[in-house]
Amino acid sequence: MNFLAHALLSPDDDEILTGNTCADLIRGPLLEGTSPKIKAGIRLHRLIDHHADRHPAFVCAKALIAAPRRRYAGAILDVFFDHCLFRNWASHSVIEFDVFVEKTCHRIGLTSSLLPIRDPKQRERLQRMVESRWLGIYRHRAGLDQAFEGLARRSHFGKALLADAARDLDEHYPAIERSFLHLMPDLQAIAEAFVLDG
């Protein structure tokens, strides 16, 4: 799952929210002295990803990604599923979407300095993301293209492979959305159980 889903699946605690939403920006072992709640958020993020990657609905959706870029299907579906979450927002949250984005980005901005991010460029990237209210980009097709452009720039993913990734969503949206709708309740149950277990 990508940033928006992780944010929604977070408990009502600013540090856990920040750790869960932003865990993909952290590389290597955690720095000594990292806040216990930031650590808890990172653990929650990894637990969600572990279950999502192995869920039958996610596995089925991977087969819908065009063969040349299927090796990157997991990252592509993470973005697609955040778009599906936006499209089905009212079924998953009682908070209006724009209000959620604004409040969540504000809360992450307040606690982002606690994240154990070593790389100054990653720290600057996070700052830009928060200031631009990046959680809202998944509502538009242009936002999906922007997300894929960012993936291509920051990783070994080939631009040529990712440039047209949103076409897979255009071609298979009903099936991808069904996969998302099967997956999300299970991830919500996992996140709720994590909170209950402390």
Q: Where are the domains of the chain?
A: 3-197
Q: Which helix (H) or strand (E) holds 176?
A: helix 166-197
| Alpha-carbon gap, residue 64 to 70, rounded angstroms | 8
The pLDDT of residue 65: 94
The pLDDT of residue 157: 58
Sign of the dihedral defined by the CA atoms of residues 29, 35, 36, 40, in that order:
negative
pTM across the whole model: 0.92
The pLDDT of residue 156: 64
Helix axes 141-154, 73-87, angle to 10 degrees: 150
Low-confidence ranges of the chain (pLDDT < 50): none
Q: Is 31:118 a contact under the CB 8 Å cutoff?
A: yes
Q: What does the pLDDT look like over 93-138, one tens digit per residue?
A: 999 999 999 999 999 999 999 999 888 888 898 999 999 999 999 9
Helix axes 166-197, 141-154, angle to 10 degrees: 80
